[in-house]
Structure 1
Amino acid sequence: MSHDPNCIFCKIVAGQIPSRKAYEDEELLAFHDIHPWAPVHVLIIPKTHIASMADVTGDHAPLLGRMAALGPRLMKELGVTNGFRHVINTGADGGQEVYHLHLHVMGGPRPWLKG
């Protein structure tokens, strides 16, 4: 499994930095965002270090599918009943702040209208 010792999300995967976990299995970790943009805001990350969507290949398709499919399950488990949003920021111009692939899943009323 690829790991970047300087990556904050790799440190979360390794248990070096605490997180409020929402889900974990052998390939994925989901945890609550520390700066939420919605009433429910989780990040789903692969445990393997992939810097961004720009680094994704066809070999990653099953992993990306699992990430996308986990979002609705978590929203349901966390009580979101009226819709949610999936967002992946890619690169500096795409608003990516942490260079470890991560899927934001945000639920609640109009999560994109952060005040």
Structure 2
Amino acid sequence: MAGVQATEPALEPRVEMSKTSRMPAEGYDKKCIFCKIVNNEMGTELLHSDEEISCFRDIKPGAPHHYLVVPTKHVGNCKSLKRDHVPLVKQMVDIGKEILQKNNVTDLADVRFGFHWPPFCSVTHLHLHVLAPASEMSFMSRLFYRLNSYWFVTPC
């Protein structure tokens, strides 16, 4: 434009990240919906988020309280777990219990924790299902989240 002098060099647009967002980096799969969720790219409410673990509500709940606890960094499905992942899985269970307690679920005997075994998992990012109260699950949910079946396994 004539008569207008640029005072700053042209810069590419920059996206400001909130304090709770993480810059996509190592351990991020740009095609993974859960990686996008934990990086605040989807607008999903995170009930817990730290450097190791994130938690959010399941979009198709199988129980009144149905949460997904995921590693913040991309880890494949439960079939890819190794012995050195044991502390991570224990931490995932602990966060699941913490979220239940924050939501006034105190009867941990009426809870289901588990992973869908491939090919029965729809997202390949490791995710622990936390469902409560199990006694209020529908027949189909009880089947879909049946403990220690060949499609749904407990972490312990």
Q: Please give the TM-score of this superposition, normalised by the length of structure 2.
A: 0.67
Displacement after TM superposition at 1:7 (Å): 0.4
Change in Cα spacing, 1:22 to 1:58, as seen in structure 2 (3 Å) is same
Change in Cα spacing, 1:112 to 1:2, as seen in structure 2 (3 Å) is farther
Task: State the aligned residue count.
Answer: 113
Structure 1 position 37 matched with structure 2 position 68: no
Identity among equivalent positions (%) equals 33
For residue 137 of structure 2, the aligned residue among 99, 111, 114 is 111
Q: Please give the TM-score of this superposition, normalised by the length of structure 1.
A: 0.89
Map residues 1-115 of structure 1 onto 2, 5 A cutoff: 1-82=26-107, 83-92=110-119, 95-108=120-133, 109-111=135-137, 113-114=139-140
Unaligned runs of 5+ in 2: 1-25, 142-156
After TM superposition, the runs of 4+ consecutive aligned structure 1 residues lying more than 6 A away are none
Where relative contact order (Cα < 8 A, 6+ residues apart) is larger, the structure is 1
Q: What are the superposed Cα offsets for residues 18-66 of structure 1, whole Å, 9 maximum, x if unpaired?
A: 2122111111000011111110110000011111111111121111110
Change in Cα spacing, 1:69 to 1:10, as seen in structure 2 (3 Å) is same
Structure holding more strand per residue: 1
CA RMSD of the aligned region, Å? Answer: 1.6
